[in-house]
A and B are shown apart, each in its own frame.
Chain A
Amino acid sequence: MRQSWLVARFTFREAVRKRAFWITNIIYLIMLLGMMIVMPLVGGMDGDMNLNFGEGGFGNATAYLLDESSSHYLEPVRHSLQEQGMTVVVITPAQLDESLAAITEDSGAAVVHITVSEHGALHAEIIMRDMMSRFPANGVGALINLEFRHAQLIEAGVEHEVSTRILQSEVIVEPTWQAGFAAMGASLVLMMIMFMSVHSYGTSVAMSVATEKSTRVMETLIVSAKPPRILVGKVIGMGSVGLVQMLGLITIAGLLGGLTSSADAPIEMSMGDINLWVAPLLLLYFLAGYALYALINAMLGAMVSKLEDLNSALAPAAIVTMISFYAGGLGPMITGGGQVGRAVMFIPFTAPFAAPTVLLSGDLDTSVVLPSMLILVGSVIFLSWIAGKVYSASVLHYGSRLKYKDVGKLVKGNKK
């Protein structure tokens, strides 16, 4: 154990000392700061839009209204738009080109062209300058619809008050999440962190093993310590780097969040009714998941003698990671948990990605979590044993990249 600890400490120190580690940290911090700056701005933008075109009406917008339907619905529409504060200019077909030219100068203006289709249905075309136009097309569209229906109901003999009441009544649908918005966001962020950690630090473990092999340091190392101890030390050392980096970023994010939060923050930061013991469980899933993938990467790294072969050697691990990420991470989220959420928790490769969604959903079913954790930890122990065998047999092999059947033979030969 002392040797594993020494290898872990050395691996940690060497990784932290590298320029790449600090560059990555700086990039993450810049991204974090960027998010913190952009998010309130997005919220502020929504507020501005509401002020101009929401409840406050359609102020500062201009509609060039061209009616070629010969219907009598135009007047109520014009009246209604004006009531909402919009400037309405009724135009003739001859003035269409002039109006189209006018809207190119004003992003808040549009031509509203009403026609009748072949089947007799009314058709309202709203022509705006471009996709960035400030013209409230959806609101205007809804208003035109409302006025047309109102007029039709009146024509059908419905009293004015009744028609108004019918058109104004609606079912208010408001989607809410038991664990709150923050919990859903957190599970997404944790999933991404898990994926990034598995990918970047798993690859780093493989890179470290392959580098030691290609530079022949391995020969000096394995004289001093048993290969499985070196392997365990490497996985622990690189995992510690990932953990320290993750905790550091979370702490900084927390501090920045505390500094920038305000009462009218656009996103509610409450985690709702989530149990406190979810945090240690998530940490455990993170560590076990990382260890599982790092061991696979270490085995694959030991199979190459040249660094240029590493990418192709790691391809199977990358595919497994990708599939597991989508199946485990996004599966329960898209399908809303249930059977899929339970199933992926029992597969060791998908469980670490599924855990954030499942645990943060607030449904902490011990009949799922406990066996899931046991399977995952058991798999890590089993894989450590396998990885130790493969690593021991492969590290002294030089030349072309080992094939899986060759590894099998080497492991078999090493048993003698």
Chain B
Amino acid sequence: MSLIVENLTKRFGPKTAVDQLSFDITQPGVYGLIGTNGAGKTTTIRMILDMLPIDHGSALWNGKTVKKSGLRYGYMPEERGIYAKTRVIDQLVYFGCLRGLSKSESIAAAKQWMQRLAVTEYERMPAEKLSKGNQQKIQLISTLIHDPQLIFLDEPFSGLDPLNSQLFHELISDMAANGKTIIMSSHQMATVEQYCREITLLHRGHALVQGNLAEIKRGYGHTKLVLGASVDAYNMAHKAGLTLLEQLPAECVFGLPEHDADAICAQLLRDLLAADIIPEKFVLSEPTLHEIFIDKVSKVEGGVA
């Protein structure tokens, strides 16, 4: 199972929405496609799914261009779209049949998914009577009803309460564990960080950062020190050249210099111990995806300015 995207380019008039984008997914799991609004995430997905013609480049699933006749992929768009006046079971069966299932297969799959997502009681209700979260579940079922191998989820967690988020979380984890390839597009960096092994960070149609998330973070090195100790310890950290980022009731978060951060922290720890200060917390951390995102985008925007 592999999705190879090479030099994907899309122009709308003078504007280049996606420019020479390349990435490949060779193992099942969740791949993150992140970026600002208008970065080109949805356009990229639409090109891969053959919903928009590709101006240049290619997108191959198992060596072949993705075609609707293959019917082995699912797409949950960012803007939820279900028939408001139609009964839940009727539209699920309709979408199932459109994606190649027989009527009986569609009914069976719809019922199974509804049970899994705890919406069986709404089976015969028109979709408009369901809450936003439940409508989102119906949308997800319509995406997965035909058991696709390649799944695109555009902002799957938006508008979900914590309980439903947990339900979606378990479902996505199960699908990844069962060998599905999932491409998740999201603004919620914490969510992407939680699921995705690999990412592409898009900005204005260009890939700013790509690759294995852990490696990307390692590339940044340690950028913060969380120190839980006495006031004297904080003063020593300040003298060692660390920048106070955040002061919490029980601890402080310090920013580390770009160079020799680990050596500076090791020396600080030695100095603290020498001064008989035993810190309750001394944690070196890598940047979050959110921080990487802000850093990369602001650098590009600064460069542009």
Residues of chain A contacted by B98 (CB below 8 angstroms): 3, 6-7, 221, 224-225
User: With the chains together, A218 CA to B51 CA distance in Å?
Assistant: 11
Instruction: State how many angstroms separate the Cβ of B8 from the closest Cβ of chain A.
Output: 13
Query: With A3-B98, A396-B46, A396-B51 in contact, do A216 and B77 touch (Cβ < 8 Å)?
Result: yes
Instruction: State how many angstroms separate the Cβ of B181 from the closest Cβ of chain A.
Output: 16
Is B200 on the interface with A (CB-CB < 8 A)?
no
Query: With A224-B98, A225-B98 in contact, do A217 and B82 touch (Cβ < 8 Å)?
Result: yes
Interface pair B68/A225, CB less than 8 Å apart: yes
Query: With A6-B98, A224-B68 in contact, do A217 and B51 touch (Cβ < 8 Å)?
Result: no
Is A165 on the interface with B (CB-CB < 8 A)?
no
Residues of chain A contacted by B166 (CB below 8 angstroms): none
Is B184 on the interface with A (CB-CB < 8 A)?
no
- Could you list 24 examples of A-B contacts with CB < 8 Å? A10-B94, A13-B90, A14-B85, A14-B86, A18-B85, A212-B81, A215-B82, A215-B84, A217-B82, A218-B81, A219-B77, A219-B81, A220-B77, A220-B143, A221-B98, A222-B51, A223-B68, A225-B68, A226-B68, A396-B51, A396-B52, A414-B53, A415-B53, A416-B55
Residues of chain A contacted by B142 (CB below 8 angstroms): 220
From the candidates A3, A18, A216, A409, name the one contacting B81 in the complex (CB within 8 A): A216
Having A6-B94, A220-B77, A416-B54, one finds 13 other A-B pairs with CB under 8 Å, namely A6-B97, A7-B98, A212-B81, A216-B77, A220-B75, A222-B51, A223-B49, A223-B75, A224-B71, A225-B98, A396-B52, A413-B12, A414-B53
Residues of chain B contacted by A224 (CB below 8 angstroms): 68, 71, 95, 98-99
The 9 A-B pairs at the shortest CB distance, nearest first, are namely: A216-B81, A224-B98, A217-B81, A216-B79, A219-B77, A223-B75, A416-B53, A220-B81, A10-B94
Most buried by B among A3, A220, A415: A220
Q: Is the interface of B mostly helix, strand, loop or mixed?
A: loop
Residues of chain B contacted by A219 (CB below 8 angstroms): 51, 75, 77, 79, 81
Q: How large is the interface on B (under 10, 10 to 19, 20 to 34, 35 or more residues)?
A: 20 to 34
Query: With A6-B94, A225-B98, A416-B55 in contact, do A220 and B68 touch (Cβ < 8 Å)?
Result: no
User: With the chains together, A220 CA to B83 CA distance in Å?
Assistant: 11
Q: How large is the interface on A (under 10, 10 to 19, 20 to 34, 35 or more residues)?
A: 20 to 34
Query: With A3-B98, A224-B99, A225-B68 in contact, do A216 and B80 touch (Cβ < 8 Å)?
Result: yes
User: With the chains together, A29 CA to B75 CA distance in Å?
Assistant: 45
Most buried by B among A10, A13, A225: A10
Instruction: State how many angstroms separate the Cβ of A211 from the closest Cβ of chain B.
Output: 9
Instruction: State how many angstroms separate the Cβ of B264 from the closest Cβ of chain A.
Output: 51
Instruction: State how many angstroms separate the Cβ of B288 from the closest Cβ of chain A.
Output: 31
Instruction: State how many angstroms separate the Cβ of B141 from the closest Cβ of chain A.
Output: 11
User: With the chains together, A414 CA to B75 CA distance in Å?
Assistant: 21
Instruction: State how many angstroms separate the Cβ of B32 from the closest Cβ of chain A.
Output: 21
Instruction: Bits for B42-57, please: 1 = Cβ < 8 Å to A, else 0.
Output: 0000100101111100
Interface pair B82/A220, CB less than 8 Å apart: yes
Instruction: Bits for A216-260, please: 1 = Cβ < 8 Å to B, else 0.
Output: 111111111110000000000000000000000000000000000
User: With the chains together, A7 CA to B142 CA distance in Å?
Assistant: 16
Interface pair A413/B53, CB less than 8 Å apart: yes
Residues of chain A contacted by B54 (CB below 8 angstroms): 416
Residues of chain B contacted by A226 (CB below 8 angstroms): 68
User: With the chains together, A221 CA to B79 CA distance in Å?
Assistant: 13
User: With the chains together, A37 CA to B77 CA distance in Å?
Assistant: 56
Residues of chain A contacted by B136 (CB below 8 angstroms): none
Is B139 on the interface with A (CB-CB < 8 A)?
yes
User: With the chains together, A14 CA to B91 CA distance in Å?
Assistant: 10
